[in-house]
Amino acid sequence: MDDNVNTPQGAVIAGEKEKDKLVENGKNKVPIECKYCSSRILNVGMSELVCTQYDLPTVDGDSKMVEKLTDFWCVNDIYTFENIGFSHTVGQTKYLACADCERGPYTVLK
């Protein structure tokens, strides 16, 4: 399966110094974990950093409020994830959340 999955990391990468701590050869050099329960979402080296803008809905429930993100971890196969749950399709998008605590959204599947 060759799905394009964009995963926003827990915190926005702020500058080259922070990026060096997280990225090696374009891939994540640390595990990606849920920011709420620390469950592992991606293992080391399994995703590529992609810089593109996306408006991710906030968890507040207000459908008009979005968080503007620019740094994403991208995987080509949904089976790359260690621990992820999928929402119902909204428009043409599925939102992904931590399968343990069910919080998110963390990722976007298009």
pLDDT band at 56 (very low <50, low <70, confident <90, very high): confident
Residue 15 scores a pLDDT above 80 = no
For the stretch 74-89, pLDDT in tens is 898 989 999 999 888 8
* CATH number, domain 5-109: 2.170.150.10
Strands 27-28 and 23-24: antiparallel
- Taking CA 18 as the corner, what is the angle to CA 13 and CA 29, rounded to the nearest 5 degrees? 90
Q: Could you check whether the bond before residue 105 is cis, i.e. omega within 30 degrees of 0?
A: yes
For the stretch 91-106, pLDDT in tens is 888 888 899 998 887 7
What are the domain boundaries of the chain? 5-109
How far apart (Å, rounded) are the C-alpha atoms in residues 100 and 110? Answer: 23
CB 76 within 8 A of CB 84: no
Cα first-last separation, the chain: 13
Q: What is the largest CA-CA distance in the chain?
A: 38
pTM summary value: 0.72
pLDDT at 31: 95
| pLDDT (mean) for 53-65 | 74
